Amino acid sequence: MYPLKFKPILKPLIWGGEKIAPFKGIETDLHNIGESWEISCVPDNVSVVENGPLAGKPLTELIAEYKDRLVGKANYEKNGTEFPLLVKFIDARQDLSIQVHPDDSMALRKHNQQNGKTEMWYVISTGEGAHLMSGLSRKITPEEYVRRIEDHTITDVLHDYKLTPGDVFFLPAGRIHSIGAGSFIAEIQQTSDLTYRIYDFGRVGLDGKPRQLHTELAKEAIDYTVLDDYRTHYTEKKNEETVLVSCKYFTTSLIWTDRNFVKDLSALDSFLIIICTEGNGEIADNEGNRESIRRGETVLIPASATSVEFIPDGNLKVLTSFV
């Protein structure tokens, strides 16, 4: 099978900025694009192939046709035609609402959905004052949480991080968080659109009304554990692969290279997602299929591939992720 690119699903949002279109090298009449969904199987938001002989086919149809050759045997047996990951670029011109996501158990119990929402963020670039909030800064009770929503002091008990490009945050389901203004990030998450909005800074939606909060659901979903630091620390090394996050839902690594770099996939029973954050070049699989890649593009390598080679034109920096 050929390395696959998909048409981006662009999401204009009230907090969206202006970075996504130029970053991806696309022209659009849409404004305030907050998110570009790069690979998605969320209902009504299914990605469609834009390159090669399979152009025009939805991802769900590809999985139904190619099964384990596309996603891997274990993934197909568990998920059927649902792709297990959702990949996005997010551009925040304003602070997003403070949120939390349910775990798998709560998603099933409350919404009859298989997946909760564990995710990770990789910071691509930052604007002036770029920041985000992740995790509780001190111990609170569920009752104090409700009181702080009511008196608008919930941000007083959250860790607020100033950002630099390359920062990584892992957000297991239950961790309270908010992407802050000036943040431009890549997000990798379980395939789920379940979000509980905790606090929205008094904003109103496009209809002029305050957006709905999910105070009681969030109260149950929050993990009240307190950590000293919620940032993922790692050492970036050129011409090597650096694992950033490894959990039951995905493993994500960073590859930064200025020479041909081969990743062995022979023992991997999974697809491989490649997200290009810097530079450009080509990728080639073991069957001789080649595809260009540049900053802002996301490519899906089918599980049938046993290796992938990165061929940079200068410097190339990519995230890779599999299940």
The residues annotated as belonging to the active site are 197
CA dihedral 161, 219, 149, 139 (to 10 degrees): -50
Q: How far apart are the first and last CA of the chain?
A: 19
Rg, Å, the chain Cα set: 20
Q: How far apart are CA 153 and CA 160, in angstroms?
A: 14
Q: What share of the chain is helix, strand, coil (3-state, %, to 5)?
A: 15, 40, 40
Asked if 295 and 250 count as a contact pair (C-beta separation under 8 A), the reply is no
Backbone angles phi, psi at 90, to 5 degrees: -125, 130
Length of the chain: 323
Backbone angles phi, psi at 278, to 5 degrees: -150, 145
